[in-house]
Amino acid sequence: MKHYDCKYFLMTDVFKGICKRDKTTIFADDAACENFEKARKCKNCNNFTTTDDDLGLCMNKFMAYPEMNAITCNDFNG
């Protein structure tokens, strides 16, 4: 588990960001802490299935990719 996958990770750029809880600067690819909670991403959604090209399908219909944020997706089913 990485900060990158955490609900409380506020990205400032592709390398790093800020923890929304304690406001410290953290690196996206560093290991997450004990307060980790899964972010709403496609890979954490029951409507998402992986395909063999590092991508996936949303609702078996639309191309999607696992790391995409789904915080604004009305169809998210986590």
In this structure, are residues 4 and 10 in contact, taking their beta carbons and an 8 Å threshold? no
Of 46 and 76, CB closest to other proteins: 76
Helices (H) and strands (E) in the chain — how many of each? 0, 6
Cβ at position 4, least distance to other proteins in Å? 8
Residues in contact with other proteins, shown as a per-residue x/- string from 8 to 47 under the rule CB under 8 A: x-xxxxxx--x-xx-x----xx------------------
Nearest CB to other proteins, comparing residues 23 and 46: 23
Q: Residue holding tokens 């078996």?
A: 60
49 binds other proteins (CB under 8 A): no
Backbone φ/ψ region at 57: left (φ over 0), alpha (ψ -120 to 50), beta: beta
